[in-house]
Structure 1
Amino acid sequence: MTDLRIRAATPDEAEAVLVFWKESAHGTSVSDDVHGVRRLIDRDPEALLLALTDGLIVGSVIAGWDGWRASLYRLAVLPSYRRRGISTALLRAAEERFAALGGRRVDAMVLEANETGRRLWSAAGFVREERWRRWVKPLTG
């Protein structure tokens, strides 16, 4: 896509990002609210990358860097814009961000039930890590 633009999200786009995720992302997160998205952007203004065309959000990825690990979340593309190289462009931008920050390896959170996502990550060169499992504990009730 020649008119595709990738840039960091701004706090005033939090609601639009949530609407986009509702239509385009597989699954939900405990942080899926305006406060959660704004907190992410406030904490790391370059972490939430958006792909836009003509002002429309057509893709997103969270490229989280904590100084130790490079982690990807919420890679999503608007269904009517899939198979146009948007996820590839988003991943390239995320990997460039991580490399500039000194990242050595990147991991991605992928729901087991997300067949499309698992195929995408595999095609992008990611390999399922069999030695680890995610353990979680909610901090709120």
Structure 2
Amino acid sequence: MTDLCVRAAVPDDLDAVLAFWRTAAEGTSISDDRAGVERLVERDPQALILAESAGGLVGTVIAGFDGWRCHLYRLAVHPRWRRQGIGSALLAAAEERFVRLGGRRADAMVLVRNESAHHAWRAAGYAPEERWRRWVKPLTEPLKKPLAD
């Protein structure tokens, strides 16, 4: 794809990103709201990476780095634009970011039921790591006391 632009999201992009995920992303997340995405971009302005073509949003990935691990979330390509290298371009941008930050290994959150995503992740060199299981706990109340620095 020759006119593909890959760049970090800015606050003005967030409503379009949320609308895009409703069309292009499989499943939902507890953080799929304006406040959640705003926090992400405020905390790490380079983490939400967008792909645009013909003036519109065609793909996203979140490349979060906490100083220890490299985490990939929300790799999504609009259904009309799939199989044109957009996901690969987004992953390349994410992986380049991780390397610049000193990351050593990337992991991806991929829904078990999303078989088409499994093929895309495998083609990009990722594989499931069966010895680990993700454990989660929704945090329904904010922390009562800030963590010490």
Please report how far the alpha carbon of residue 54 of structure 1 lies from its aligned counterpart in structure 2 after TM superposition.
Answer: 2.4
1:10, 1:133 → 2: CA distance? 33
Partner of 1:34: 34
Partner of 1:5: 5
Please report how far the alpha carbon of residue 100 of structure 1 lies from its aligned counterpart in structure 2 after TM superposition.
Answer: 0.3
Partner of 1:20: 20
Percentage of matched positions with identical amino acids: 65
Please report how far the alpha carbon of residue 127 of structure 1 lies from its aligned counterpart in structure 2 after TM superposition.
Answer: 1.1
Residues 78-97 of structure 1: pairs in structure 2 closer than 5 A = 78-97=78-97
Residues 71-110 of structure 1: pairs in structure 2 closer than 5 A = 71-110=71-110
Matching residue's letter, 1:136: V
Aligned residues, how many?
141
Give structure 2 stretches of 5+ with no counterpart: 142-149
Could you give the per-residue CA deviations for residues 9-57 of structure 1, whole angstroms, max 9, x where no partner exists? Answer: 0112111001000000000000011111111000100000000012200
Matching residue's letter, 2:5: R
Q: Which runs of 4+ in 1 moved over 6 A?
A: none
Partner of 1:47: 47
Partner of 1:56: 56
Could you give the per-residue CA deviations for residues 94-123 of structure 1, whole angstroms, max 9, x where no partner exists? Answer: 000000000000000000000111111011
2:56, 2:19 → 1: CA distance? 12
1:116, 1:68 → 2: CA distance? 29
Matching residue's letter, 2:96: E
Partner of 2:133: 133
Larger radius of gyration: 2
Matching residue's letter, 1:93: A
2:8, 2:54 → 1: CA distance? 16
